[in-house]
Each structure stands twice: as C-alpha cells, then as structure tokens.
C-alpha cells in the first residue's frame, strides 16, 4: 500500500506530495534513531525498542521472566486484570537526555512512585547529580548575543550595532548540547570550581514542581560571567560504587577511561546577561528547573535570605533567538567571515547599484548600504525575520534607507522593487529551512524566479557554488552506525537487523547532517570537487551528473564520505561550509564550526576491523533540477573479506 506524504522542499521552496511506502515513517524513525549508539555505551542502563524487545527476550530465553508492556508508563494499569498484578519493588528506567530532565524524567518518576512501585523501593539508577561550572567565553557568548560589527568604508569605520531589545533579551530556553571535549581550553576562562548543584534520589518520591538550588562560591578569577557549563552523573547503586559520568575530560575522575557518547553530551547555558565577578568575592550560582527545563542565574546575596520571586524559564522576546540558532549566531559574529563578504562586495558594488538581498535574517543588506549601494532591498519571507530586521535597521538608523519586503522571493513584483531593475543580487546564501549543505541552493531557484527583475549585466553574488567531498575515518562517530551484536551477554542481533533493514529502505543511500567540528576525523583522501552550479545562469532543465573515483592516500578505516558546499563570491573569494584548510600530514581535519556537513556512511561489515582494504572509492552524484534533490552512491573498491 502506498501513502502520500507532504514535504516542504528546502531547495526549491515548493510544497510537494510524494508517494511513499506505508512504512516510510517507521523506517525513517528507526534509521535515524541512533539506538545502537546507546547500546555501545557500556556504562548505560537501557530499554530496547518495544517492537524488537519481545523478539530479543524470546531469543535469549527470558520469555517466562520478562513481560513487555508496549505503553507509556503513565498508562500502565495495576491489579489482577491489569498490565501489572502488583506494585514493583525495583524501578529500572532510562529517561534521561543531555539535560537530565528534558525528556520528562521528573513527572515520569513522580507518577511511577505514586502508582507503580512500592514505598522504599530500590531504583536503578539510584541517584543523579547535576554539576555546573561558571566560565567566561567570547566564543560561546557569540552563540547567544549579536556583537557589534565594524565595517571599514571609504567614509571611515561604520559599526553595525545590535538592538537594545536583543542585548537585554534573556535568550532561548533551550539548552545547547555539544561535545564539550572538542571546545579548546583556550576558548574559555574558568571562573569557578565544578559545583554540585542538585541531586535527585530516584528511590524516593520525586517531585516535578519548579524549584531552585543555590551554591555559594568564590570566583577563581576576575572576569565576565557569561556561560554555565553543566553535566550530570548517575550512581547505579545506593552505595555509589557504580557510576556513569558525563563530565568533560578536565572534570572526569579518570580521563583515560572517558566513554564517548553522542546521546548524552554536555550542556551550555547562557546567563540572561553577562555579569562582572571578582576573584575571591563570594557569589551564588542558582540552578532553576521546572518539570522539563533547567536554567541558571547569578545572585549577589543568598537566595534563601533574599526570598525573592525567581523568574520563570527565559523566553526570547527579541525574535533573534527564534530565528537564529546557536551556530547561526556564531556565524554572524565571525568577523573574518564578514570581512570576506565585505571584500567581495567592494569588487562588485558601484555607486548606482540597486541591490536585492535574499537570505534569511542576513546582515548583507547593511553591508551593501554601508559600502555605497544606491538602493537596497531585502526579502524576508517570515514575519519573525521581518520583525527582527526592522529592529536591527532601526537601531542603526537605517529604517528609511533599506526596504524590507515580507514576501517569498518567488512572488516578487516590479511594484515591490519600485519599478527598478536589480543590478546586484546578493545571498550568503543562508535559509533557516536548510538541513543539508546543498539545501541552500534555494538561492539558485530564487535567482531563476527573479530573472525578469534583473537588469542588463546584473551581477549575482555568489557567482557559482561547488559540491566537494573527502573520504574520512572517524574517531568515534562511526559508532552510531555500527551493529551492536552482543550487549553484556544479551544477544541483540534482532535489533541490529531491524536497523539495517530500515537503513536499506532508503537511508543507506542518503547523507545526514553533522557538525563535524564536534566529531574528530582524519582525511584519507584529498578533497575533491564533484559538482558545480552557475548562479549567473538560471537553473538548467537537465540533470547535472558526475561520476568518478577517489584515491585514498592515507591508511585507515574508510567510514564514510563527507560532503559540503563552497560558495565562490567572486573569482578570488570563496566561502567554505566544510574544510577550512588542507588536511595536515596525518589527515586531521579543520571544519567550519558554524555549519553542519553531510556524512554519507559506507556500508561495511565492521568499521572496527583491522586496517587495510579499499584503495579507491567510486561515486555517482546527480543533481535533479526539478526537485532540487541531490542523489548519490559511493562504493568501496577492492574490499577485503573482513569487510574493509
């Protein structure tokens, strides 16, 4: 049976209805779940998927011991005719996310103690403790606030300043979870020791009510308190002999035995405002939480003595945190990147230039104005981006100098452009709907749609774009696609097979986005350009096809191919969303930290097999102009019997 699935095409901008297999959503959910990554976590207590659990239990001979109840725990019934005949005396759960409580652990435990387990039951895990460390970090603070942006012009230096509402905004309530071990120690200054903020004893009644917990401390150094780094550990037993810690390497009890995880990482929280702290001058760090969310504040006096009413979770009221995610803030604040666009604009702008800027929430229009364009239009297709840009223009006294058009760019009319022809079409390009690097090719479709509004000799920037790839060996990321096989003596091949079938349904032929600055890898080949896109011309009606082979120049395990886009602003200026420089001798990679790259995982028998194997990787890549899709297939040549 077939079903129709609607999707918004991020590349063409159109809404499409596609005919899919009735199990399409099921396969997508399984293929992208990373359940295997959880089972590779040797410290973890886990609950397999209900669909596979019954078969796994049966295969391992525990059908008479284990009963699978395919329900949410709050729906489980008790009694002779219920799901459970009586209350349990042991509570075993895994309800945690990187923030500990973000998946509803507190209300679930609260319900379980009231309705499912005996009083004084034992719980596994037994206890969790949340830790925090206060730091100053310009890099991390750039993920939360808009910095002033200097622009050197022929009339002197101009500075793009953030609106007052953005500076005062407490930010988004969502935690930013990252692989904190990949943040250089040079990128932050530690202002406090690691502070245990609060603990939850899961063997006792748990409350999901809002609460706050404070810790007094003396700053280790004077500085600007901006960011709270946070993580948790769990004690599996009442005595605390068996622990599972999410601590980064500098706070871990045994850094040499650090367990890599992608399902549980570390948290970055942003204080509502940066605050000065003085070394040795006592202050209070306060952790607030409700049933699903944690946030932090600094207090000069004891919260218990102060008895002040603490604010609810932070909510963005400036629009920026709703439109720009954390990497996007960092990208906009990247002065080196901004200077690249400034230098490129200087080569294409003329005193009589009429510019049209097409990118979501972009500052390109302000750069074009400051660099001397006669008139600037910018298209903002969402109400949120329209409101934000109006605030930014007003803060910089440009509300009467830059025209904002709230409309999808494909729908532009001559009246929207005041009857003028565009001489310079600009894009970063960046669009909030883009997930994979090539989704920003939407700019090409916009360029095609506005062709009638372009004047003779109009310039398009970027002029062209290209798709690049390199074959890599991951240090750890391969684990999310690696079969588990046996987990603590429990045979879970059934789950491995289920995931493989789901991948083979479609996902094995698709790439998935990952911010590779968080996931170290080695280049086994040299980067290779495989497709080009000429924005100076409309989107062609025919397929763009490429095929070839990639020679591996370094020994290693070929885990996959990484793909990214490069935008050629002018013949002399290129912005890369992937590799920022050539790989070093050992192949270590330096990735753009503001962008997600696309990873195409190779299908191998065992990514941990001994070194050796294929010397070349063959590929075919097609760009389908009618759908905007890029399809690809990579194959390993000369594969050895061991799967490499």
DSSP 555-585: -S---EEEEEEEEEEETTEEEESSBSS---T
3-state secondary structure of 391: helix
CA 285 – CA 637 distance, rounded (Å)? 57
DSSP E strand boundaries for 41-175:
88-92, 117-124, 127-136, 149-153, 156-160
CA 235 – CA 202 distance, rounded (Å)? 10
Is residue 314 within 8 Å of residue 173, measured between CB atoms?
Answer: yes
CA 269 – CA 40 distance, rounded (Å)? 28
Q: Which of 19, 20, 22, 94 is catalytic?
A: 94
Please count the CA atoms within 13 angstroms of the CA of 99 that sit on its side-chain side: 24
**CA distance to 112, 232, 297, per residue, from 101 (Å):** 15, 11, 18
CA dihedral angle for residue 48, residue 93, residue 244, residue 296, rounded to 10 degrees: 120
Quote helix, strand, coil % in the chain, to nearest 5: 25, 35, 45
CA 340 – CA 337 distance, rounded (Å)? 5
Please count the CA atoms within 13 angstroms of the CA of 524 that sit on its side-chain side: 24
The DSSP output letter for 525 is B
CA-CA-CA-CA torsion sign (151, 154, 155, 156): positive
What is the CB neighbour count within 10 angstroms for residue 478? 21
Alpha helices in 400-522 (DSSP H): 442-449, 493-505
239 belongs to the catalytic site: no
584 belongs to the catalytic site: no
Q: Which of 20, 103, 374, 399 is catalytic?
A: 103
Active site residues: 94, 103
């Amino acid at each position: 049976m077939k079903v129709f699935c609607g999707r918004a095409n991020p590349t063409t901008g159109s809404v499409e209805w596609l005919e899919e297999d009735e199990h399409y959503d099921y396969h997508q959910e399984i293929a992208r779940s990373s359940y295997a990554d959880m089972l590779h976590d040797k410290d973890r207590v886990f609950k397999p998927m209900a669909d596979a659990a019954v078969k796994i239990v049966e295969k391992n001979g525990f059908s008479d011991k284990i009963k699978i109840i395919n329900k949410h725990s709050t729906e489980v019934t008790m009694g002779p005719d219920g799901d459970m005949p009586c209350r349990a005396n042991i509570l075993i759960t895994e309800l945690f996310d990187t923030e500990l409580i973000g998946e509803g652990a507190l209300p679930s435990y609260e319900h379980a103690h009231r309705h499912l387990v005996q009083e004084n039951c034992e719980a596994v895990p037994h206890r969790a403790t949340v830790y925090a460390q206060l730091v100053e970090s310009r890099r991390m603070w750039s993920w939360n606030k808009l910095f002033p942006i200097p622009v050197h012009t022929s009339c002197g230096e101009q500075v793009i300043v953030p609106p007052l509402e953005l500076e005062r905004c407490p930010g988004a309530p969502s935690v930013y979870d990252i692989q904190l071990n990949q943040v250089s120690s040079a990128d932050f200054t530690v202002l406090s020791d690691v502070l245990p903020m609060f603990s939850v004893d899961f063997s006792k009644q748990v409350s999901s009510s809002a609460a706050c917990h404070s810790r007094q401390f003396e700053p280790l150094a004077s500085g600007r308190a901006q960011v709270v780094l946070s993580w948790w550990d769990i004690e599996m037993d009442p005595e605390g002999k068996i622990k599972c810690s999410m601590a980064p390497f500098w706070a871990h009890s045994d850094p040499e035995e650090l367990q890599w995880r992608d399902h549980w990482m570390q948290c970055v929280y942003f204080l509502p405002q940066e605050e000065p702290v003085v070394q040795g001058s006592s202050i209070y760090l306060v952790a607030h939480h409700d049933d699903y969310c944690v946030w932090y504040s600094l207090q000069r006096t004891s919260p218990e003595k102060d008895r002040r009413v603490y604010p609810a979770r932070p909510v963005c009221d400036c629009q920026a945190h709703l439109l720009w995610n954390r990497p996007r803030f960092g990208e906009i604040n990247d002065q080196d990147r901004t200077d690249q666009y400034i230098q490129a604009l200087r080569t294409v702008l003329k005193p009589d230039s009429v510019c049209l800027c097409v990118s979501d929430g972009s500052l390109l229009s302000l750069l074009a104005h400051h660099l001397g364009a006669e008139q600037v239009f910018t298209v903002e297709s969402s109400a949120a981006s329209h409101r934000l840009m109006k605030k930014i223009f007003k803060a910089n006294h440009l509300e009467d100098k830059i025209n904002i058009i709230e409309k999808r760019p494909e729908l532009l009319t001559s009246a929207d452009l005041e009857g003028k022809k565009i001489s310079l079409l600009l894009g970063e390009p960046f669009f909030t709907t883009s997930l994979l690097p090539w989704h920003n090719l939407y700019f090409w479709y916009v360029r095609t749609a506005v062709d009638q509004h372009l004047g003779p000799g109009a310039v398009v920037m970027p002029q062209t774009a290209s798709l690049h790839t390199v074959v890599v060996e991951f240090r750890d990321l391969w684990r999310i696609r690696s079969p588990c096989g046996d987990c603590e003596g429990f045979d879970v091949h059934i789950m491995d097979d289920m995931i493989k079938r789901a991948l083979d349904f479609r996902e094995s032929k698709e790439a998935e986005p990952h911010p590779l600055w968080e996931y170290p890898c080695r280049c086994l080949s040299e980067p290779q350009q495989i497709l080009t896109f000429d924005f100076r011309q409309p989107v062609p009606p025919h397929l763009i096809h490429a095929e070839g082979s990639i020679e591996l120049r370094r020994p290693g395990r070929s885990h996959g191919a990484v793909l990214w886009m490069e935008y050629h602003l002018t013949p002399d200026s290129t912005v890369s969303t992937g590799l920022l420089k050539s790989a070093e001798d050992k192949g270590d990679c330096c990735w753009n930290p503001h962008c997600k790259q696309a990873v195409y995982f190779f299908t191998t028998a065992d990514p941990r097999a001994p070194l050796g194997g294929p010397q070349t990787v063959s590929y075919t890549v097609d760009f389908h102009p009618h759908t905007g899709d890029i399809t690809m297939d990579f194959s390993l040549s000369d594969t050895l019997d061991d799967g490499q």
